[in-house]
Chains A and B, each alone.
Chain A
Amino acid sequence: MIRDNGAPKGIDAEAIVEAAIASGEAAIEDLDIDDSTMSPPRSPFKIAVRRFMKHRLALISLIFVIFIVVVALLAPLVAPADPNAVDLSSIRKPPSGAHWLGTDSAGRDVLSRIIYGARVSLTVGIAAALSAAGLGTFLGLVAGFTKGWVDMVIMRVVDIFLSFPSLIVILLLVAILGPSVITIVLVIAFFEWPTSCRIVRQMTLALREHDYVLAARAGGSSNFRIMRRHILAGVVSPLTVVTTLLSASAILLEAALSFLGLGVRQPQASWGGMLNEAQSITVLEGMPWLWLPPGIAIAATVLAINFIGDGLRDAFDPRQTR
C-alpha cells in the first residue's frame, strides 16, 4: 500500500522537476533573446549615451546649445546686418521689421550683435573650461598618484587659489594685462583649475588602489602609462561633468568682466558688453530691447549648460541622483 502510494507521488515530483527544468530553459532562452537585443550598447560610453538620451531636460538643453554653437559659427551668414555698422540716423530704435531686436546707442543691429556676441561667450566658455580642466587634471593626477610631498604642495596651492576672491583678482589681472579674448581665457582658466584638480586627485587616490592598477604594475607598466591608461579612463566621466559646469561659470565670468568694461574691446560685440548699456537708468527703464536679449542669452545658455552637466552626471553615475 505504502509503495503504491509512493509511486504516483514520485511521478508527480518528476513531473514537477521536468516542468521546472523546462521553465528554466525557457527562461534561459528568454535571456538569450534579451541578450541579443541588448548587446549593442555594452561599452560604458554607449551605456552613458543611452542614459543621457533619457534625460529629457538635458537633451533639450544640448539641442539648444548646439543650435547656439551653429548660429555662432555661421554668424556671417545668419546675421541680418554687420554687427559693427554704425547708423547714427537710427539710434536706440525699438524692434521693427528692419531691426528685429531694435538698435543700440550707436545704431547697430542688436540681433546681429547678439549673434556675433555668442562667438565670444562660447569661445571663452569652452576654451577657459578646457584649459582649466587640462591644468587641473594634470596636477590632480600627479598629486593623487605620487602622494607624499608633491601632493602636499599641489593641494596647498589649490587651497590658496580657492581662498582668493577670484573675481577681484581676475579684474585686476585683466586690467594689468589688457583685455582680449586670450587674456580672459587664460586668466579664468588660471583661477578655475583648482576645482577640477581636487576632483581628479580624489578620484586618483581611490582608483590607484584598485587591483587592476596593481595588475598593470605587475605586468610592467610604468607609472606614467598607468596614469594615462587606467587612472585617466576612470577620471573622464566626473571630469566631463566638471568641465561642462566650468564652461558655464566661465561664460558668466566673461559676461561680468565685459559688463564692467574689462571684456573684449569695443566695438567687438559680446553679451556682457551689451549689458553694459543697461548701466544707464534711461536704458534700463525705457529700452528693454537693449539689455533683455543679451541677458536672456546669457541666462539661457548658462542654464542649458548646467542642465547638460546634470544630465551627464546622471548618465555616468546613476546612483548619484541630485
Chain B
Amino acid sequence: MTSDTPVVDPQALLSVEDLHVTFEGDEGTVEAVRGVSWEIRPGEVLGIVGESGSGKSVSVSSVLGLLPSPPAVISGGPVTFDGQNLLELSEKKLRAVRGKKIAMIFQDPMTAFNPVKTIGHQISEAIRVHDKSVSRSAAKDRSIELLSMVGVPGPHARFSQYPHEYSGGMRQRAMIAMAIANRQRVLIADEPTTALDVTIQAQILELLEVVRNETDAAMILITHDLGVIAEVADRVVVMYAGKVVESTSVLSLFQNPRHPYTLGLLGSLPRLEVRMDTLYSIPGQPPDMAHAPPGCAFAARCSLSRGRAECRESVPELVKVGDSWSACHFVDEMEIATENVSQEIGLDIRVGKESQ
C-alpha cells in the first residue's frame, strides 16, 4: 500500500500519510478514514472533494486533534507539519499550532460564533489566546483592522456588535478575519460557502483568495462543490468512502478524469450550454462505513465495473497515471467511459478550466 502511495514531497508544508480514523460506537466500528495521504506546499490551494460522509472533514479535523476521543481513534500517520508529527504532539503543544499556524474556517458562520459575546471580543480573544502580551486595546485595533481587511463595512461600529446583528455573509467575513488573525501558515476552510446564499458565495471565495494572497498561506478547501474547486484550487484530492480515489491537478481533473467517481461528479454538474431535463446522477448510495465492502468501495455504483469480480474482491491501489494518481482497476478504460458519459449528456464534459 505505502509503496504505491504518492511519495511525500520534501517541500511540503503539511503532509498526511496513511491516516486512519475510526469511530468506536455502540453499533460497531465505523471506518471513516481508511488510509488517506496528501500534502500541501506553501502558497498552494488543495481542494478536497467528496460527498457527505466521505471522510473529508474528519481527516482534516483529526490533523488538528479536534475529534472527540473517544469515540474517535486515530492511527497511521505521520502528519508532518514544521518537522513535527502533529498526531504525537501533546495537547499543550498542539494548542500552540491551532489557530496560530493552522487556522480553520467553519461551514456555518451562524453557529461558530458565541451568541452572547460581541464579534470584536471574539476576534480579540483569538489574538490574545496566542499572545498574552498583546494588550486589550492593541487587540481591538488589530481586530478592527482585520474586519476592514475582510470587507466588513464600518468596522469600528461592527466591532462591538453581536453575532445576531451580522448577516450570514458578514459573519463568514468576520470568521475569516478571526482565522487570519494570527497570520497562520495553513488555512483550512471546511465548506466555507455551503451555508451561504449563492450570490454571497462568490464574494466569499474571492475574499478567501485575496486573504490568502495577502497572508501568503496555503489553503485546504473542503467542499462537495466542483464549481468551487474549479474556481480556487490548484490541486484536488477526490475522496470516496474514506479513501483517496483520485489526486491530481485541477486542470487534469476537469480535462482528464481518472476515476469513474470523479467522472460521475463531473457528469452530474448542471450545464448552461445544453438543455437538460434531468441531471445525470450516480446511481445508488455510498456504502455503510460500519460494513465497508471488501473490494473497491465504489464498485456497486460504478459505470465502469459492470460487476467484474476484480472490483468486488480486491481494493484498488492508488497508482500514477499520467499526471494523476488514481485508485481504479480499470483506469485505462476511463477515456471510453468519459466519451460515453459525454454522449449521454450531449456535451463533451472534458472542458478545461480556461474554457469555463
Name the one of B99, B100, B106, B165 contacting A211, with C-beta atoms under 8 angstroms: B106
Residues of A within 8 A of B165 (CB): 42
Q: Which residue of B lies closest to A210 (CB)?
A: B111
Which residues does chain A contribute within 8 Å of B103, judged by CB atoms? 218-219
Binary CB contact string for chain B from 147 to 179 against chain A (1 if under 8 A, 0 otherwise): 000000000000001100100000000010010
Is B89 close to A, CB under 8 A? no
- A220 CA / B104 CA spacing, docked (Å): 10
- Render B257-283 as a binary contact track against A, CB cut-off 8 A, 1 for contact: 000000000000000000000000000
Contacts of A43 in B (CB 8 A): 118, 162
A95 within 8 A of B: no
Question: Contact at A218–B99, with CB atoms within 8 Å?
Answer: yes
Rounded to whole angstroms, the CA-CA distance of A287 and B353 in the bound complex is: 98
- Contacts A210-B111, A211-B112, A218-B66 given; indicate if A229 touches B125 (C-beta within 8 A): yes
Shortest CB-to-CB span from A229 to chain B, Å, is 7
Given contacts A218-B103, A218-B104, A220-B130, contact A233 B116 (CB under 8 A): yes
Q: B178 contacts which chain A residues (CB < 8 A)?
A: 219
Given the interface pairs A219-B98, A219-B126, the reply to whether A42 lies near B66 with Cβ below 8 Å is no
Q: Which of the listed residues B92, B96, B114, B125 has the most CB atoms from chain A within 10 Å of its own CB? A: B114
Q: Complex Cα distance A210/B104, Å?
A: 16
Residues facing B in A34-69 (CB within 8 A) are 42-44
- Also in contact, A218 and B64, with CB within 8 A (given A210-B111, A229-B125): yes
CB contact between B114 and one of A212, A220, A222 (< 8 Å): that residue: A212
Q: Which residue of B lies closest to A39 (CB)?
A: B165
Q: How does the 8 Å CB contact mask read for A188-231 relative to B, with 1 for contact and 0 for none?
A: 00000000000000000000001110111111111001000110
**Bound state CA distance, A216 and B108, in angstroms?**
14
Count A/B pairs, Cβ under 8 Å. 69
Residues of A within 8 A of B106 (CB): 211, 214-215, 218
Whether B66 contacts A217 by the Cβ 8 Å rule is: yes
Task: Name the residue of chain A whose CB is nearest to the CB of B92.
Answer: A222
Q: How many interface residues does A have (CB within 8 Å)? A: 20
A212 touching B129 by the CB < 8 A rule?
A: no
A220 partner, pick from B98, B112, B115, beta carbons under 8 A: B98
Bitwise, B74-101 to A at CB < 8 A (1) or not (0) is 0000000000000000001001111110
Residue of chain B at shortest CB distance from A218: B104
Decide: A220 and B95 in contact? CB cutoff 8 A: yes
B117 interface hit (Cβ, 8 Å): yes
Hey, which chain A residues are within 8 Å of B126, CB to CB?
A: 219
Chain B residue numbers with a CB within 8 Å of A221 are: 95, 99, 125, 129
Apart from A214-B112, A234-B114, 9 more pairs, CB < 8 Å: A43-B162, A44-B116, A215-B175, A217-B66, A218-B66, A219-B126, A220-B130, A229-B125, A233-B114
Closest 6 CB pairs of A and B: A219-B99, A220-B99, A211-B111, A220-B98, A218-B104, A215-B112
Residues of B at under 8 Å CB distance from A?
A: 64, 66, 92, 95-100, 103-104, 106, 108, 111-118, 125-126, 129-130, 161-162, 165, 175, 178
- Jot down 25 A-B pairs with beta carbons below 8 A, ordered by A: A42-B162, A43-B118, A43-B162, A44-B116, A44-B162, A210-B111, A211-B106, A211-B111, A211-B112, A214-B66, A214-B112, A215-B104, A215-B112, A215-B113, A216-B114, A217-B66, A217-B98, A219-B178, A220-B96, A220-B98, A221-B99, A221-B125, A222-B92, A233-B117, A234-B114
